[in-house]
Amino acid sequence: MDLNYTPRQQAFRQEVRAWLKDNLPAQKLASYDTCEGFEQHREWERKLFDARLSMVMWPEELGGRGCDLTEWLIFEEEYYGADAPMRVNQNGQLLLGPTLMEFGTEEQKKRFLPRMAASDDMWAQAWSEPNAGSDMAAISSKAIRDGDHYVINGQKTWSTRAIYADWAFGLFRSDADSKRHHGLSFLMVPLDAEGVTIRPIKALNGKDAFAEIFFDNVRVPVENRIGEEGSGWHVAMATAGFERGLLLRSPARFQQPVRKLVELYKANQAAADRDPSIRDAVMDVWAGAESYALSAYQSVGRLARGEKIGAESSINKIIWSELDLKIHETAMRILGARGELLSSAPQNQDDHGWLEGFLFAQAGPIYAGANEIQRNIIAERMLGLPKA
């Protein structure tokens, strides 16, 4: 055990810090759930890519700089510590990217990953269906082989920012007679293909944050399939579940709002202390964010030693989603009667965007596998309890 950063790691931290200082947008970008904000974020991603900072742990030939996971954690600490913009293409970069790395052909990697790193292509997910949410194996959208193409028919839903995206990836039933986890294939679909209709779903924050995607005889070439035909479930599940979960929500993303929550509490201490449980809640989320960070470093170390990390990743999902909720609930309690004010309200004094974060935090325990499902996974795979 050695909890010191190497000189190389320290130098990397300084390099990232300096670059961000010189290059951060002067003005806060508009929300990436709006058309204007989406394009601003795409431009920012391009800038990151040009500095080879968009996907630091990808190999150089694919647009990254070959960092290890410890360096990636350092990058994330500097990135979120500097209040840099949210990552608009992370569903592609962090969910599909690792899948392509592990299961994609060399040709697919070259074709998709550099453009993904540069955000030339923006990616949306196409997993959930109206009747396949927590029970994802109930997927019924079909992709039936016709020569060197698949013909897709069906409907996907809850696809984040799909109205702005260029591509979608997800699971489709390539064997019409198959059941459950069998007979699914993992496909990448251009969203400008004929027969694709995208209908926005207005989220509770009033923005078109996600969408339904309808497929009506959409033809997709066979080379857009990742992995073998019929092995889509395996591809979707096997891809370094742990890494993916960690990459999606790095600890820095929670340590930064905790720092701001402490500042918010101190700035409003007299009012906040009327309810003594607020101070305790601030301490609790501080401890939560720290232990999430420590756990991440521990896991990265174990991976570097060649250990496998399995169902523990389900714990991560529960921890960060509930932590995010508690951080924002506590902020709202401190803001008190002004907490409800929208950023457009003249009397709004919330310059961090706690309300927006509070709304988004409501979704955390639901998306990426509801926390009830994660608890089932922990109980069955980690503790070995019998299935229902």
Partner 1 sequence: MDFTFTDDERAFQDAISRFLMTEAAPEALREIWETDAGRSPDLRNKMAEQGLTALSIPEEAGGLGMGDVVWSLMTQELGYYGIPDSLADTAYVSAGLIAALPETVADRNGWLEQIAEGSIRIAVGHPVNPLVADAHLADFTLLNHEGEIHAVPRSLIDVEHNASIDSSRRLCRVMWEPSNSTRVADAETGAPIWEEALNRGALSVAGQLLGLAQRMLDLSVDYVAQRKQFGKPIGSFQAVKHHLADVASKIEFAKPVLYRAAYSLQHGQADAALHISQAHVACAEAAHLAARHGIQVHGAMGYTWEVDLQMFMKRTWALESSWGDRAFHKARISAAIFADDAPLGPGQTFGRS
Which residue, 78 or 243, is less far from partner 1 as judged by CB?
78
Q: What residues line the site for partner 1 (CB under 8 A)?
A: 1-6, 9-10, 13, 70, 74, 76-78, 80-81, 251-252, 255-256, 258-259, 262, 265-266, 279-280, 283, 286-287, 290-295, 297-298, 300-302, 304-305, 312, 315, 318-319, 372, 374-376, 378-380, 382-388
Q: Going by DSSP bridges, is the β-strand pair 225-226/210-221 parallel, antiparallel, or unpaired?
A: unpaired
Beta-bridge mates of residue 153:
142
Closest contact distance (angstroms) between CB of 321 and partner 1 is 12
Q: Measure the CA–CA gap between 253 and 84, rounded to whole angstroms.
A: 11
Which residue, 123 or 292, is less far from partner 1 as judged by CB?
292
Closest contact distance (angstroms) between CB of 296 and partner 1 is 9
Residue 215 host element (H or E): strand 210-221
Closest contact distance (angstroms) between CB of 285 and partner 1 is 11
Nearest to 105 by CA among 237, 235, 243, 242: 235
Closest contact distance (angstroms) between CB of 25 and partner 1 is 19
Q: At what angle do helices 276-304 and 312-335 cross, to 10 degrees?
A: 150
Which residue, 135 or 372, is less far from partner 1 as judged by CB?
372
Closest contact distance (angstroms) between CB of 117 and partner 1 is 23
- Is the Cβ–Cβ distance between 178 and 185 less than 8 Å? no
Q: Between the CA of residue 99 and those of 112, 126, 128, 164, 219, what are the distances in Å?
A: 12, 14, 18, 22, 22
Backbone angles phi, psi at 168, to 5 degrees: -135, 155
Which residue, 26 or 388, is less far from partner 1 as judged by CB?
388
- What residues act catalytically? 243
Closest contact distance (angstroms) between CB of 182 and partner 1 is 24
Closest contact distance (angstroms) between CB of 229 and partner 1 is 35
Beta-bridge mates of residue 169:
125, 188
Backbone angles phi, psi at 153, to 5 degrees: -135, 135
Q: Between the CA of residue 123 and those of 96, 117, 119, 162, 362, what are the distances in Å?
A: 8, 11, 9, 8, 23
- Is the Cβ–Cβ distance between 354 and 325 less than 8 Å? no
Identify the sign of the CA torsion 104, 107, 108, 109. positive
Please give the distance of CA 378 from its chain centroid, rounded to a whole number.
21
Q: Going by DSSP bridges, is the β-strand pair 149-160/210-221 parallel, antiparallel, or unpaired?
A: antiparallel
Nearest to 225 by CA among 122, 132, 148: 148
